[in-house]
Amino acid sequence: MKLCFVCTGNASRSPMAEAIARYQVAELGLPWTVFSAGTEGVDGAPISEKARAVCAEIGISLAEKTRQALKPEYVTSDTLFIAMEEEHRVYLKDSLDVPDDRILVLQGGISNPRFGDLDRYRECRDQLVTAVREVLHSLAREESCSV
C-alpha cells in the first residue's frame, strides 16, 4: 500500500504528516510507502521552517524534504490519499478522479498552521501524531483482516 498525505501547498501539514507516518510505519514494521503532495505544491520549493523545527523537537527530521505537486500519476489502485481537509478530498475526486473509497479526510480536518507561531505548529504536529497513529492502526487492522 502507498499512503499519500495531501494538503494545499505541501509546505506544512502534509510534509509533517508524511514524516510522522514514515516514523510510525517503521515502528509498526509495515511495508507501506509514504509520501506527500500538495494540490498547489511547487516541485522543489522549500517547506516551512516552522514545520521543520517542531518536527525536530520530537526527533523527526524534515531536513531533506521539499515541496511536491500532486500529479495524476500518483493515482494508482494501491494508493490511499489522506487529505488534510474536505477541500483536498473534493480536489482529488473532481480533478484526479480518485474514487471515494481511496480518500480519507484526516480526523475530520486538520487546520493550516501557515500564519501561526511555533505553538500553533506544535498543536498541528501533535494533532497529526495522534490522527496518523489512529489511521495507521485502523488500516493495519483492516489489512490483517482481509488476508
For the stretch 48-87, pLDDT in tens is: 999 999 999 999 999 999 999 999 999 999 999 999 999 9
**Run of H or E including 35:** strand 33-38
The confidence band for 145, taking pLDDT boundaries of 50, 70 and 90, is low
Query: For residue range 123-133, what is the model confidence (pLDDT) as tens digits?
Result: 999 999 999 99
> What number is the average pLDDT over the span 30-58?
97
Instruction: Give all domains of the chain, ordered by start, each with its CATH number.
Output: 2-146 (3.40.50.2300)
Contact 38, 96 (CB under 8 A): no
Cell of 109: 480536518
| DSSP conformation class of 62 | -
Query: For residue range 11-22, what is the model confidence (pLDDT) as tens digits?
Result: 999 999 999 999
